[in-house]
């Protein structure tokens, strides 16, 4: 099998465009062959070892396994993150959310900052951190800020810590906590930082159980349901928890930025208005879908 044959074989699973993108990613990342190289037929000169590896990769891809799992990593905000079935694969929409958070931090600071300048004395909170892609990207963008990433999954936090180490993000800490247990009697592990955060960002589970049938088997079979789904009868449960945590842990005027279910963006906005937040707005993603909500305490 060559790369053209693999594209043809993957097309029924993913569609022609995505199949081409998957194979191009494999050829460039694993074998160092650009699209131009492929057009020139250089994939026919692979060594016997590389041909054997290509065959193994093709077999995995044809089972529906995501290319990011096959390669072991995904790119996000210009950085390479390790991904496994224990964490969600970073999406472009989540990168848009992270860029928005960076813009907000630049706005909050008295002097404009470039992406790589520090934001002194700032503490940021990322709830449902997963692979740590948001938290680590913020930590790398603002190396003198302190970032706290929180997740319920010990396996996900292990991946996040590995990513922080590999990317030399020493200003981020990851804590295990179930944000749905948040109530007046609970003691979150960041308690000593309460009223000290200057930004909260989150990409929590938001896919309703009833929407599972609309999703790709590649996602359903290979990404953690814990990080994806919420019950049909309470789809905003994580956003209520985020609103409550924000009221306790954020400084006045602090923005909360969240990725949301496009079908529930309006309901999420109203939830934060009802919780006493102001300047609540919905922002579309690059596909013109209402994917992000900002609320200010």
Domain contains 252: yes
Structural domain count of the chain = 2
Q: Are residues 121 and 19 in the same domain?
A: no
* Domain assignment of residue 81, yes or no: no
Q: Is 243 exposed, middle or buried (0-12, 13-18, 19+ CB in 10 A)?
A: buried
pLDDT the model gives residue 183: 55
Q: 194 in helix, strand or coil?
A: coil
pLDDT 10s digit of each residue in the chain, 297 long?
Answer: 889 999 999 999 999 999 999 999 999 999 999 888 888 888 888 899 999 999 999 999 999 999 999 999 999 999 999 999 999 999 999 999 999 999 999 887 655 444 444 455 678 999 999 999 999 999 999 998 999 999 999 999 999 999 999 999 999 999 999 999 855 446 666 665 555 788 999 999 999 999 999 998 999 999 999 999 999 999 999 999 999 999 888 888 999 999 999 999 999 999 999 999 999 999 999 999 999 999 999
Query: Based on the domain organization, do 277 and 194 belong to the same domain?
Result: yes
Please tell me the distance from the alpha carbon of residue 71 to that of residue 60, in angstroms, as a whole number: 11
69 assigned to some structural domain: no
Give the predicted TM-score (pTM) of the model: 0.92
Which CATH number goes with the domain that contains 109? 3.40.50.150
Beta-bridge mates of residue 166: none
Asked whether residue 24 is domain-assigned, the answer is yes
Looking at the structure, do residues 271 and 131 belong to the same domain, yes or no?
A: yes
Distance CA 204, CA 98 (A): 14
Which pLDDT score, from 0 to 100, does residue 197 have?
A: 87
Burial label for 42, CB within 10 Å (0-12, 13-18, 19+), is middle
50 and 106 both lie in a single domain:
no
CA 83 – CA 5 distance, rounded (Å): 27
Q: What's the rounded Cα separation, in Å, for the pair 83 and 160? A: 9
Clarify whether residues 192 and 277 are in a common domain.
yes
Residues 132 and 54 in one domain: no
Q: Rounded to an integer, what distance in angstroms lies between the CA atom of residue 253 and that of residue 180?
A: 24
Same domain, 103 and 210: yes
pLDDT at residue number 44: 81
What pLDDT is attached to residue 97?
Answer: 98
225 in the same domain as 169? yes
* Same-domain pairing of 104 and 225: yes
Range of the domain at 15: 3-63
Residues 90 and 53 reside in one and the same domain: no
Shared domain for 41 and 91, answered yes or no, is: no
């Amino acid at each position: 099998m060559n790369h053209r044959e693999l594209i043809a074989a993957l097309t029924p699973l993913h569609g022609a465009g995505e199949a081409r993108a998957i194979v191009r990613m494999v050829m460039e990342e694993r074998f160092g062959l650009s699209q131009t190289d492929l057009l020139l037929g250089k994939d026919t000169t692979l060594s016997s070892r590389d041909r054997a590896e290509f065959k193994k990769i093709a077999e995995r891809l044809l089972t529906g396994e995501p290319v990011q799992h096959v390669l072991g990593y995904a790119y996000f905000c210009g950085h390479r993150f390790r991904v496994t079935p224990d964490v969600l694969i970073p999406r472009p929409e989540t990168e848009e959310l992270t860029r928005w958070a960076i813009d907000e931090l630049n706005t909050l600071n008295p002097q404009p900052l470039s992406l790589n300048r520090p934001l002194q004395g700032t503490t940021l909170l990322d709830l449902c951190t997963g692979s740590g892609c948001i938290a680590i990207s913020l930590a790398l963008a603002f190396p003198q800020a302190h970032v706290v990433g929180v997740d319920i999954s010990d396996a996900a936090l292990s991946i996040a810590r590995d990513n922080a180490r590999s990317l030399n993000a020493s200003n981020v800490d990851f804590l295990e906590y179930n944000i749905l247990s948040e109530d007046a009697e609970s003691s979150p592990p960041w308690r000593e930082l309460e009223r000290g955060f200057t930004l909260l960002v989150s990409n929590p589970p938001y896919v309703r159980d009833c929407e599972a049938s609309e999703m790709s088997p590649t996602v359903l079979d290979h990404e953690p349901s814990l990080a994806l789904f919420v019950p049909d009868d309470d789809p905003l449960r994580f956003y209520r928890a985020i609103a409550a945590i924000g009221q306790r842990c954020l400084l006045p005027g602090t923005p909360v930025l969240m990725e949301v279910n496009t079908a529930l963006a309006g309901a999420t906005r109203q939830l934060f208005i009802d919780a006493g937040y102001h300047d609540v707005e919905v922002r579309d993603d690059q596909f013109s879908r209402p994917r992000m909500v900002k609320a200010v305490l």
